[in-house]
């Protein structure tokens, strides 16, 4: 799980670096891993990131309605594809 989450941060690094304070929404089942990896990333890179944790389904609906999130992380690819 950690390697997948770390890969996600690496893949989204351009988005994270280009946003003033990137808004990252994360499925609740990934909370522990993302908090740990996110804290390390923030400390090492010095980039502030605003994390929100919750339901993938709710985040998908919010994104479809125009919510201003920069990154959406979900372990369920169904939600990630629906929001894309």
- pTM here is 0.69
Distance (Å, rounded) from C-alpha 15 to C-alpha 9?
10
Question: pLDDT tens for residues 57-71?
Answer: 899 999 999 999 988
- CATH number of the structural domain spanning residue 47: 3.40.190.10
Q: Are 74 and 54 in contact (CB under 8 A)?
A: no
Distance (Å, rounded) from C-alpha 15 to C-alpha 51?
14
Q: Are 51 and 21 in contact (CB under 8 A)?
A: no
Domain span including residue 50: 2-83
Q: Torsion over CA of 71, 66, 30 and 77, rounded to 10 degrees?
A: -90
Question: pLDDT tens for residues 22-73?
Answer: 889 999 988 988 888 888 888 887 888 899 999 988 999 999 999 999 888 8
How many domains, in total, are found in the chain? 1
């Amino acid at each position: 799980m950690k390697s997948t989450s770390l890969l996600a941060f690496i893949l989204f690094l351009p988005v994270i670096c280009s946003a003033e304070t990137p808004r990252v929404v994360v499925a609740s089942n990934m909370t522990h891993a993302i908090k740990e990896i996110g804290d390390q990333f923030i400390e090492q890179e010095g980039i502030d990131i605003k994390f929100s944790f919750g339901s993938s389904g709710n985040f998908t609906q919010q994104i479809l309605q125009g919510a201003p999130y920069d990154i959406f992380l979900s372990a369920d690819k169904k939600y990630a594809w629906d929001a894309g």
